[in-house]
């Protein structure tokens, strides 16, 4: 069966309550779906009106109950997707997922709006539909998705139409107390979290929610070699010193076990000094290969400019002391040295496969965001690959 593209909209209330990671975890652990694009939106009235109209038109041939539900959805969109006193600038997250029969798979994992189950679907866990005496008392669908193939194509094309204007790294969407000085930081959830179906990316996001920061930008990144070289350039110099320390022990052991005469103390340091630059270059190449899926030693100059084969999820967090808070929850570079309860301690394996990267200063965050270009709009291009020109 040919793969198709479906969508999920994570609603402002779900995002506000830090349930984003839980929703993403459910979607990616389902087994048949792959995340291909993601983008934050602050929807305009025009976008909400077109999307609501598309949902209503899809139910014109439905029965009376379906039409009532669609009217409730329409009212919900205008109450929650547009500015209000409670949410001056609502944030919506759009996810595009591919897979065989993806649209029906998404409907199954999302669940029904009115028949809210207990736990086994996204709406069963995060949504509510309370009705008393035939009147709806409370309605929170948690997420939206397409109801069928034609409806899905129509609806995601509407979001693509407004993606450049209403989406990206959102500006001035969070209200802060007077005198607050928020900053922004970049998090990259690394490729090993996406190499098999797993809830781990969602669990990592859920753990970062402990910071109380706000997600204002999101994008799937496939780093090319040139891009990765720029991104990791600051660590290249630091690797040389680290590699010398790592070499001394193994060199000492090798000399003692391989030679039939005693080797004077300090020789291992002289050898490590000679080899440290070679070891650092090798380690840097391994980082590039891990992040891009391409071996820099076997890649042509033309291919070095192309996007990579591995997938990362870039997230921009905003808030007071954003850099410091994220790095505290992330933990030390080496998972073995990270504190209990940190992301790297809980999910990391090695110094390289340590789950996520986070900027070490506001200046680094700005530099890194410019390199991976989180604000660039790829939604339109992804949709056109599946469903033709908009």
Q: 122: how many CB neighbours lie within 10 A of its CB?
A: 26
Looking at the DSSP assignment, which residues form a beta bridge with residue 140?
A: 128
- Here the contacts of 283-289 (C-beta below 8 Å, separation 24 or greater) are 283/239, 283/243, 284/232, 284/235, 284/236, 284/239, 286/352, 287/228, 287/232, 287/235, 287/352, 288/225, 288/228, 288/229, 288/232
Q: What are the CA-CA distances from residue 62 to residues 119, 187, 274, 370, 383 (Å)?
A: 28, 44, 76, 48, 27
| Set 357, 359, 374, 382: catalytic member | 357
Pick the closest to residue 144 from 218, 52, 210, 226 (CA basis).
52
Report the interhelical angle of 149-166 vs 379-387 (nearest 10°). Answer: 160
Three-state DSSP state, 227: helix
Separation of CA 326 from chain center:
15
Order across the sheet with 34-41: list the strands: 34-41, 92-100, 3-10, 143-145
Tokens of 236: 């290249």
Q: Specify whether 357 is catalytic.
A: yes
> Catalytic residues, which ones?
357
């Amino acid at each position: 069966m040919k793969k198709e593209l479906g969508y999920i909209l994570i609603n402002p209330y779900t995002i506000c309550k830090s349930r984003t990671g839980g929703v993403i975890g459910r979607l990616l652990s389902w087994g048949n779906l792959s995340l291909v694009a993601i983008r934050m939106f602050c929807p305009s009235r025009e976008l909400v009106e077109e999307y609501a109209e598309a949902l209503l038109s899809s139910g014109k041939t439905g029965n009376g109950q379906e039409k009532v539900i669609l009217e409730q959805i329409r009212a919900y969109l205008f109450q929650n997707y547009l500015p209000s006193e409670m949410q001056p600038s609502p944030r919506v997250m759009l996810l595009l997922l591919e897979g065989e029969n993806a649209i029906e798979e998404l409907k199954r994992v999302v669940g029904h709006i009115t028949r809210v189950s207990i736990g086994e679907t996204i709406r069963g866990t995060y949504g509510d539909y309370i009705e008393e005496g035939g009147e709806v008392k409370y309605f929170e669908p948690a997420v939206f998705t397409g109801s069928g193939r034609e409806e899905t194509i129509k609806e995601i094309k509407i979001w693509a139409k407004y993606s450049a204007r209403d989406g990206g790294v959102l500006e001035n969407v969070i209200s802060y107390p007077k005198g607050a000085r928020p900053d922004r930081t970049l998090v990259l959830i690394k490729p090993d979290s996406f190499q098999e179906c797993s809830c781990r990316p969602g669990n990592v996001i859920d753990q970062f929610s402990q910071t109380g920061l706000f997600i204002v930008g999101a994008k799937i990144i496939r780093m090319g070699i040139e891009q990765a070289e720029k991104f990791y350039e600051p660590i290249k110099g630091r690797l040389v010193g680290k590699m010398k320390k790592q070499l001394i022990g193994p060199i000492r052991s090798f000399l003692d076990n391989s030679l039939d005469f005693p080797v004077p103390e300090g020789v291992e340091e002289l050898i490590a000094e000679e080899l440290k630059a070679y070891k650092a270059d090798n380690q840097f190449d391994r980082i590039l290969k891990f992040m891009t899926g391409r071996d820099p030693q076997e890649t042509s100059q033309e291919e070095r400019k192309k996007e990579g084969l591995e997938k990362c999820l870039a997230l921009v967090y905003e808030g007071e002391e954003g850099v410091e808070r994220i790095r505290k929850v992330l933990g030390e570079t080496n998972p073995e040295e990270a504190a209990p309860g940190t992301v790297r301690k809980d999910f990391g394996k090695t110094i390289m496969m340590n789950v996520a990267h986070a900027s070490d200063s506001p200046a680094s965050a700005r530099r890194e965001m410019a390199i991976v270009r989180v604000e660039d709009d790829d939604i339109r291009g992804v949709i056109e690959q599946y469903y033709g020109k908009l």
